[in-house]
Amino acid sequence: MLDDATGPAAMLIAEEVTRAAPIILSGGGPQLRIYTLHGEAAMEADLDQELSLPFVPTAGDWALSLPASPEDLEAVGAALAVISPRISVRDSTDGDGVAVASRPSASIPIINTEELERP
């Protein structure tokens, strides 16, 4: 199923949308946010520093949210709609680029960080 989303995801990565807005995977563990490196940063990246995940992010109930530019939302949304309801697209310009992906049949709490900082 994730292999079927390779085309739309590769297009978004090539357009560098994922430089500032992450791919978000919610499900079998902590929410996973994936940002990508481009240009010089990608060439200089130290691949030896990569670590494996201590959990399987697609275990059980999971959802993948891809960021897209407003111009690409409709096309990417249509391409993903035929793949799986677990894979969705969102506007990369909404909010601060770290929007929470919706999880099928699950509720994600929203934490008001301003209230946490209040004395």
- Total tally of structural domains belonging to the chain: 1
Return the structure tokens found at 105.
Answer: 């049949």
- Look up the pTM and report it: 0.72
Give the number of other CB atoms < 10 A from CB of residue 57: 17
pLDDT in tens, the chain (119 residues): 778 888 999 999 999 999 889 999 998 778 889 988 888 888 888 777 777 888 888 888 899 999 999 999 999 999 998 888 899 999 998 864 444 433 333 444 566 677 777 77
In sequence order, which ranges of 4-111 are alpha helices (DSSP H)? Answer: 6-14, 39-44, 73-81
Domain interval for residue 59: 3-117
